[in-house]
Amino acid sequence: MMSLKIYAVGVNFKTAPVEVREKLACKKEELKDLLVDLKTLSGVEELCILSTCNRVEIYTYAQETALRTLVDLFVKRKGFENAKTYMFTYEGEEAVFHIFRVASSLDSMVVGEPQIVAQFKEAFGEAKSAGTLGKILSRLFEKALRASKRVRTETAIGRNAVSVSYAAVELAKKIFGDLKNARVLLVGAGEMGELAANYLKRLGSQIFITNRTYERALQLAQKLEGNALRFEELPNYLHTMDIVIVSTGAPNYVITKELVSKAMKRRAYEPVFVIDISVPRNVDPQVGKIEEVFLYDIDDLKDVVEKNLKDRLKEAKKADIILWDEVKKFSLWLESLKAEPYILKLKEITKPHEKESPYLRKVVFRAIREMKRNPSLAPIIFRIFEEEVKHVDGRKRLSHVHN
| Active site residue ranges | 53
- CA 73, 79, 82, 86 dihedral sign is negative
Going through 153-225 in order, the beta strands assigned E by DSSP cover 183-187, 206-211
Whose CA is closest to 298, among 18, 76, 9, 8? 18
Residues 117, 105: contact at Cβ < 8 Å? Answer: yes
Give the Cβ contact number of residue 174 at 10 Å. 10
* CA–CA gap between residue 264 and residue 67 (Å, rounded): 50
- What secondary structure letter does DSSP report for 242? S
Rg (CA), the chain: 28
Give burial (CB, 10 Å; 0-12/13-18/19+) of 336. Answer: middle
Residues 6+ apart with CB under 8 A from 234: 187, 210, 259
